[in-house]
Amino acid sequence: MWMFKLNIWAFLWLFVGQYGAFALQDVTADLFGAENYGTVAAFGDFYADKQTDIFIIRGQSELVIFLADSKIPYFKPKVNITKDIFPRDAVITSVVPGDYDGDSQMDVLLTTTIQNSKMTNVFIFWGNNQTLDLSGKLMLNKNFTDQPLVMDFNGDMIPDIFGVTDSVPPLFTEVCYLTKRVQRWEKALSSSVDMRSPHSNAFIDLNRDFTADLFLTTEGPKFETWISKDGNFTKEEVTLAEPPVKIIGQSSFVDFDGDGYQDHLLPVCLDATCQRGAIYMVKSGSAEWVPVLLDFQRRETIWSFVPGKPSQPLALHFGDYNLDGFPDALVVLRNTSGSGQQAFLLENVPCNNASCHGVGRMFQILWDQSDLGAIQNAVMATFFDIYEDGILDMLVLSQAEDKHDLIIHALKNNYEADAYFVKVMVLSGLCFNDCPEDVKPFGVNQPGPYVMYTTTDSNGNLKNASAGQLSQSAHFSLQLPYTVLGLGRSANFLDHLFVGIPRQPGETEIRKKEWTAIIPNSQLIVIPFPHNQPRSWSAKLYLTPSNSVLLTAIALIGVCVFILVIIGILHWQEKKADDREKRQEAHRFHFDAM
């Protein structure tokens, strides 16, 4: 038996030997061919084929939807909204795909501004039969002071449009519902809000009750949290100190320390010209800003953030590129003594400095990423799962001197490691098998669902991770319509996976379902239908066997064959011995007979 064991150990050693190899590979040509220009504005499964498509703004006033395809180039420009559809001088500032009318087909919301005007106009193009109905566009009959937040205000799993429409104080928030393509406006929050512009408002669960709350960024700079109390948003009186900084970036929410709660991360500049950057974090329920990245020096060069512009805000984009269960980030930094700009990966590592002790984790800049460094004048960088294999790849946008449009670079993440993930996409659950007109309920980009897992890691410790789906929509937040949670190297079944969705006002039951024993490396599509009966929700499982799983399978089959051969040999020998015995017996019989 020890020989089989040795065999298995040899295989295991092979996997472990591979652990940690990380390399990027430029796959731009495979993905886009010669069409790799424009500003990546949003992601969503427009074609409802479970493949994420890419929404790209070109020439400031055109939208091109690149649909995922199985042949090179993997993304092809298929659906266009050309500039003659908009008023003259209109500039597209953001794109938010979503199912706004509740027919389970993806519509496209565009915000535009007209030069010299502060107000934002909102257009909606209705999706129909996997394309856009260009003639029947809707322009909202109120304008917003900034890009609106797409969220689910009334918990009906149809995205709503939230923002400030007044232009003279006091500024009250309003929400616009578009169910069945009928425009309906309602006053949203009970007190006035002096919203910051650009805002980084978020629709995310802040108290781990699996119901999305509302986070607002206001002038000051200050922050407001409106907790969903049985579906009603109620302002929470927390006195979070103003962060000790001069320039403030966009807030983001991730589970930075892996405790299942969402943490608030904020990139900032410590001085007015942004010579010194920092990233601060506040834990859920805490009022203390903890620095998680202060060290921006590499040899003689000091790097720092690029002060935000409306079209390129100072923001972090999160994703767990190494599947260790702790979210990492992509950011663009500037050489403070020169003029170069590059994208960098910030890896989430255990804290090794007294300053971040209270959090236990911190960021470390990965300086030696030659593939990222090769992209000059980067202006934006984000994560995207190119081949839908659960490993997050990267898209980097760069500015070329003589071109108006940005250049898109796609970098594949060849993370060859024995690390595992679970990829979860929560759909609207408005229909299931019986969708009207036989549509597939996939491409809906649902804001608000919350996903959390708890499991035991390889050391036997309890480990949690959580994420909100599409918590932010404005100012190029570039969130993915699914969540990828890394599981680290523990190949065990995932003990518990919880999924929760927003609630309707007055609903006291939490809408949450738990799944147990989820196989790692699976992609889960959760259909919360019907919304108020979590017991009936279903999850479709798609497996992505990783290399190591395949190798294990081969090893197992090999061992089985080996055992079979040995059994065969033993059997044959026994049979031979049997035969011999029988023959001897026969002889004896002969002798006896004589």
Ligand X SMILES: *[C@@H]1O[C@H](CO)[C@@H](O)[C@H](O)[C@H]1NC(C)=O
Closer to ligand X by CB, 409 or 463: give it: 463
Write down the residue that tokens 């042949």 correspond to.
71
Would residue 145 be called left, alpha or beta, if left means φ above 0 and alpha means ψ between -120 and 50 degrees?
A: alpha
Which residues, including other chains, have CB under 8 Å from residue 232's CB and lie 6 or more apart?
505, 506
Rounded to a whole number of angstroms, the minimum distance from the CB of residue 550 to ligand X is 32
Rounded to a whole number of angstroms, the minimum distance from the CB of residue 466 to ligand X is 9
| Residue 482 DSSP one-character state | S
For 41, 310, 395, 399, 476, the CA distances from 378, given in Å and listed in that order, are 16, 16, 11, 6, 15
Closer to ligand X by CB, 338 or 460: give it: 338
Alpha-carbon Rg for the chain, nearest whole angstrom, is: 28
Closer to ligand X by CB, 84 or 592: give it: 84
Rounded to a whole number of angstroms, the minimum distance from the CB of residue 94 to ligand X is 16
Closer to ligand X by CB, 332 or 525: give it: 332
C-beta of residue 100 within 8 angstroms of C-beta of residue 159: yes
Closer to ligand X by CB, 224 or 257: give it: 257
- The Cα 465–Cα 220 span in angstroms is 32
Other C-beta atoms lying within 10 Å of the C-beta of residue 465: 26
Which residues, including other chains, have CB under 8 Å from residue 68's CB and lie 6 or more apart?
47, 49, 51, 52, 53, 74, 75
Q: Which residue is nearest to ligand X (CB)?
A: 338
* SS3 sequence of 312-359: ECCCCEEECCCCCCCCEEEEEEEECCCCCEEEEEEEEEECCCHHHCCC
Rounded to a whole number of angstroms, the minimum distance from the CB of residue 119 to ligand X is 6
For binding to ligand X (CB under 6 A), which residues are involved? 64, 77, 80, 114, 117, 119, 121, 129, 141-143, 230, 232, 259-260, 294-295, 301, 335, 337-338, 340, 353-355, 454, 462-464, 505-506
Q: Per-residue DSSP letters for 195-252?
A: B-SS---EEE-SSSSSS-EEEEEETTTEEEEEEEETTEEEEE---PPPPS-SEE---E
Closer to ligand X by CB, 452 or 470: give it: 452
Rounded to a whole number of angstroms, the minimum distance from the CB of residue 293 to ligand X is 7
114 SS3 class: strand
Rounded to a whole number of angstroms, the minimum distance from the CB of residue 437 to ligand X is 6
Closer to ligand X by CB, 353 or 414: give it: 353
Take residue 543 and report the two structure tokens written for it: 């497996």
Rounded to a whole number of angstroms, the minimum distance from the CB of residue 324 to ligand X is 14
Rounded to a whole number of angstroms, the minimum distance from the CB of residue 549 to ligand X is 27
Rounded to a whole number of angstroms, the minimum distance from the CB of residue 367 to ligand X is 9
Q: Phi and psi (nearest 5°) for 400?
A: -95, 150
Closer to ligand X by CB, 412 or 531: give it: 531
- The Cα 41–Cα 405 span in angstroms is 13
- The Cα 421–Cα 322 span in angstroms is 10
Closer to ligand X by CB, 230 or 416: give it: 230
Rounded to a whole number of angstroms, the minimum distance from the CB of residue 438 to ligand X is 8
Closer to ligand X by CB, 64 or 314: give it: 64
Rounded to a whole number of angstroms, the minimum distance from the CB of residue 191 to ligand X is 14
For 372, 458, 488, the CA distances from 416, given in Å and listed in that order, are 18, 19, 13
C-beta of residue 343 within 8 angstroms of C-beta of residue 372: yes
Closer to ligand X by CB, 218 or 284: give it: 284
- The Cα 344–Cα 304 span in angstroms is 11
